[in-house]
Structure 1
Amino acid sequence: MTALAVTWATLLRALRDRGALFFMVLLPVAIIVVLGVTISGFDVFRVGVVPAARPGPVAQELTADLRQAPGLRTHTYESAADARTALRRAELDAVVVVPAGLDADVLDGRTVAVTVLVEPSGSAGHAAVSSVSAVVADHAARLQAARFAAEQTGGTFEGGLSAARGAEQAAAPIAVRTETVNGQSDYLPLGYSYSTPTMLVLFVFINALAGGATIVQTRRTGVYARALAAPVPARALVLGETVAYLLLALLQSALIVGVGAVAFDVDWGDPLAAGILVTLWALVGTGAGVLAGAVFRTPEQVHAVGPTVGITLGMLGGCMWPLALVPDWLSTVGHALPHAWAVDAWTALLSRDGDLSAILTDLAVLGAFAAALLALASLALRHRLNAAPER
C-alpha cells in the first residue's frame, strides 16, 4: 500500500504541473503536425496556374485537369507577372501558363506549346515539370482521340471530344502501382506516419528524463528522509516512483497514439505488436528517468542535461532521419542506443505490414535495455535514499 501511495502522490504532482503537461501533450502534437506537413509535401508540388484569356472549352478543361491532379497543389493567378513574383519568392515550385489561343490552335490542328516556368536553382521545380507534363500529356491524348473520332465519323471536333471523354470514363485507364520488392522498406511512410511514431519515441524518452528532476527535488526537500523515518522501506519508495513514471510514460504514449490515429489517420499496424512495443519503450523511458533522478544532484542539472541528451540520442537513433540514409558506421553507432531499435520496429510494423514475429528481435533488445536501465535506476535510487541526508 505504501508504494501505491507514493505512486498516487507522484501522479497528482505531475498532472498538476502545467509545464510538464505542455511538454507531455502539446509540444509533441505540435511537432508531429509540423513534421508531418513538411514530409508529406515531398511528393506534392506547388504549382501556379495562369488561365488563358477568354478561354475556350479545351483551355478550361486543361486548367481543370491541372487543378484536380493528385500530385499538384495549384493556385490560380490572374497574370503571369503575379505568378512569376510568387515563383521568385519561393511560394511556388513551378508556374503553368495556358496559351491564349489554345482552342483555336487545337481546332486548326496546330501543335501547341504549354509554357512551364521554374527557378534555375530549384530542384523541386524541375521535378514538378514531370508531374505537369504527365497532366498535359493525358490532356493531349484526349484531344488526339477526339480528332481521330471526328475524322472517322465525319462529325465535329466537339462531338469527338465528348465521345473521347465518355470512353475515358467508361474504360479504366492504366495505372502505375509502386511496390517494394519482397515488401521490404527501410523507411517509415511519409507524412504523419513518419512523424508520429518517431516523435513518440523521442518525447516519451525526453519527458521521462525530465521527470527525474522531480525525484531530485523530492530528495533535496527531505521528503524521502521523513518517509524512511516512518519507517517506510526504501524499496517501497523506489517501486512507487517507478510505477508512477511508467504510468506517465504509458499515458503520454496513449495520447500520441490516439491523436495520430484519430486526427492524422495513422495506421499503427498489428495491435498486439504495437501495444507491446509501446509498453517496452515506456519501460525504457521509465528506467532512464528514474536513473536520472538518482544520479543528478540538482533539478537544474536534469533540466539542462536531460533534453540535450534526449535529443542527441534521438538524432543518433533515427528519430530525425532514417538511419538507412547515413553511413554504415553511424548506423552502427545508432544501434548501440534503444531508439534505433524502437524506430526499426515501427518501420517493420508500418512499412512492411509486419506482425509480432517480425519485431521479436527488436523487442528482445528493447527488453534488455529496459531491464538494465530499471535495475541500475533501482540500485542507484536505493543507494541515494539510504545514504546520508542531502543538502
Structure 2
Amino acid sequence: MTLPVALAVTRATVRRTLRDRTALFFMLLLPVAIIVVIGTVVGGFDQFRIGVVHSPGEGPVAVELAGDLDRSDGLETRAYASEAAARTALRRGELDAAVVLPAGLDSAARAGRPVTVPVLVEPGGGSGYAAVSSVSAVVSDHAARIQAAHFAMDRRGGGFEERLALARVTAQRVRPVGITTLTPSDRGDLLPLGYSYSAPTMLVLFVFINSLAGGAAIVQTRRSGVYARALAAPVPVRALVLGETGAYLALALVQSLLIVTIGALVFGVSWGDPVAAALLVGMWALVGTGAGVLSGAVFRTPEQAGAVGPALGIGLGMLGGCMWPLAIVPGWLRAAGHAVPQAWAVDAWTELLSRDGGVADIAGRLAVLAGFAAVLLALAALGLRRRLTEPVPGGPG
C-alpha cells in the first residue's frame, strides 16, 4: 500500500505545483532571465570597449582599418565622429580606449610614409593599457599588408590598390603563426565566461532556492489538515513522507532539465561530459529535495517558508560561489564556502566545463554532495514524520 499511495501523493503535489503560475515563474522564467543578465555582463569581460574616431572624408585604407578593429574578437567597437566625443566617453567609463584614425592615413599609406595612430586611454584605467595591446595587434596586421603591397609594387610594379588587394587575399590564404596561452597546470579555476558561467551557477542557485521556498506547500497542506485526514484513512506516515520527497525530487529534476535544455539550445552552453553532467544534476536535485522537504518540516507557517527560505538560499548561494568565483576570494572565505553544498556543486561544474573533466574527476565532489543529500534527506524524513503525527494548530483534528 505504501508505494501506490506515495506515487499518488507525488502526482498530486507535482500537478498542483505545475498549475501554479507563480511557481512556474520562479522555476523557469526568473532563472532564465537571470542567466541572460549575468551571462551578458560576464561575457563582456573578455572584450575591450574601443571607440573609433573617424576623420571626415577618410579613404579606403582607414575604412579597412576600422573594419579590422570591428571584426576583432577581443574588441567591441563604437564609432565616434569627433575626438572630443570619444574623450567624453572615456571619462564616463564607457570606453577602455579610443583609436583616432588620422586624417592623412590614406595619403601617407599610399606614399609609404610612416603613420602614427593615436590611442587614447584614461590615466587611471588599467584596462585601457591592456586594450592598447589588442589594438596594436590589429593595427600591426593592417600595417603589414600595406608594407607587403609596397614591397610588391617595388618588385613587380602595379598600382597601390591592386597590390593591397593582392596582399589582403594572400593574408587570408596564409595561416599565421598562432600563440596559445596556457596556465602551468593547464587547468582553469574559473567557469568559462558568458552563459557558460551563468547557466550552471544559476542552476545550482535556483534549484536550491525553489526547493526551500516550495516547503511552504508542505506547511500549508499540513496546516489545512489534509495529512491528518489521510492518516485517519489510515495511510502510513512513511507513504506521505515518501510521496512528498518524490514530488520535490521530480520538480527539482524538471527545473534542472529545463535550465540545461534552454542553456544548450538557446545560449549554446556545452555542459561537458553527458554522463558526469547527468550524475551531477541528479545529485544536486537530491540535495535540493532534502532541503525543500526539511523546509516544509521545520517552518510553522507558509509565510515563514516563503520569506526565510529564499533569503537563506541566496545567502548560501553567495557563500558557495554562485554569485562570484570562490577562486578570487580570500582563503578563509573559500574554506567557509565549502561548508555548504553549493561550493562543491560549482566546483564540479568548473571541472566539467573548464577542464573537460569526466565522472572520475568529479567523483570526490559527488561523494561530498551525496553526504549532504543523505543528511538533509534523513533530517527531512524524521522532521516531516514528527510534524505529521503532531496535532494541527488551528486546523481540523
| TM over 0.5, shorter chain | yes
Q: Which residue of 2 aligns with 1:13?
A: 16
Corresponding residue number in structure 2 for 1:196: 199
Listed as ranges, the matches of 1:244-255 within 5 Å are 244-255=247-258
Deviation at 1:159, TM superposition (A): 3.8
Given candidates 116, 130, 133, the residue that maps to 1:113 is 116
Cα deviations by residue, 1:350-371 (Å, 9 ceiling, x for unpaired)? 1111111111111111111111
Q: Give 1:155 shift.
A: 4.2
Q: Does structure 2 conserve the Cα–Cα contact (< 8 Å) formed by 1:55 and 1:100?
A: yes
- Structure 1 counterpart of 2:125, from 122, 127, 134: 122
Moved more, 222-231 or 202-211: 222-231
Aligned partner of residue 75 in structure 1, secondary structure: strand
Residue in structure 2 matched with residue 288 of structure 1 by the alignment: 291
The separation in 2 between residues aligned to 1:389 and 1:165, in whole angstroms, is 81
2:25 partner amino acid: F
Task: For residue 49 of structure 1, give the secondary structure of its aligned residue in structure 2.
Answer: strand
Instruction: For residues 253-303 of structure 1, give each alpha carbon's deviation from its aligned partner in whole angstroms, at most 9, with x where no partner exists.
Output: 000000100001111111111111101100000001100110111111112
Matched, 1:35 2:45: no
CA distance in 2, matches of 1:67, 1:187: 28
Is 1:261 aligned to 2:273, yes or no?
Answer: no
Counterparts of 1:30 and 1:158, CA distance in 2: 49
Q: Which residue of 1 aligns with 2:134?
A: 131
Question: Is the contact between residue 317 and residue 340 of structure 1 (CA under 8 Å) also seen in structure 2?
Answer: yes
Which 10-residue stretch deviates more, 296-305 or 200-209? 296-305
The unaligned stretches of length 5 or more in structure 1 are: none
Question: Taking structure 2 as the reference length, what is the TM-score of the superposition?
Answer: 0.94
Match of 1:309 in 2: 312
1:103 and 2:106 matched: yes
Partner in structure 1 of residue 166 of structure 2: 163
Q: Determine which of 78, 81, 93 is the counterpart of 2:84.
A: 81
Tell me what 1:390 maps to: 393
Give 1:328 shift.
1.7
Aligned match of 2:337 in 329, 334, 337? 334
1-side partners of 2:183 and 2:194: how far apart? 18
1:26 aligns with 2:24: no
Percent identity between the aligned chains? 67
Between 122-131 and 226-235, report the one with greater CA deviation: 122-131
Letter in 1 for 2:221: T
Q: Deviation of residue 79 (structure 1)?
A: 3.0
Check if 1:299 corresponds to 2:309: no
Paired residue total: 391
User: What residue in structure 1 maps to residue 242 of structure 2?
Assistant: 239
Contact preservation (8 Å) 2:272, 2:353: yes
Q: Any idea what SS the aligned residue of 1:244 has? A: helix
**What secondary structure sits across from 1:119 in the alignment?**
coil
Q: Which residue of 2 aligns with 1:223?
A: 226
Mapped contact 2:55–2:81 kept (Cα < 8 A) = no
CA separation in 2, counterparts of 1:65 and 1:31? 33
Q: In structure 1, how many angstroms separate the alpha carbons of the residues matched to 2:124 and 2:17?
A: 50
Q: CA-atom RMSD, angstroms? A: 1.6
CA contact (8 A) 1:150 1:159 kept: no
- Give the equivalent residue in structure 1 for 2:68: 65
Pick aligned residue for 1:373 from 359, 373, 376: 376
Confirm or deny: 8 A CA contact 2:214 2:306 kept in the other structure. Answer: no
Is the 8 Å Cα contact of residues 219 and 390 (structure 1) preserved in structure 2?
no
1:343 corresponds in structure 2 to 346
In structure 2, C-alpha distance between the alignment counterparts of 1:335 and 1:115, rounded to whole Å: 48
2: CA distance, partners of 1:121 / 1:9: 61
Compare 317-326 and 208-217 and name the one that shifted more.
317-326
Structure 1 residue 148, shift from structure 2 partner:
2.3
Could you give the per-residue CA deviations for residues 43-78 of structure 1, whole angstroms, max 9, x where no partner exists?
A: 112222222322223222212211211111222233
Instruction: For residue 150 of structure 2, give the secondary structure of its aligned residue in structure 1.
Output: helix
The 5 Å alignment of 1:38-53 reads 38-53=41-56
Instruction: Give the match's secondary structure for 1:52.
Output: coil
Q: Runs of 5+ in structure 2 lacking a partner?
A: none
Shift of 1:121: 3.4
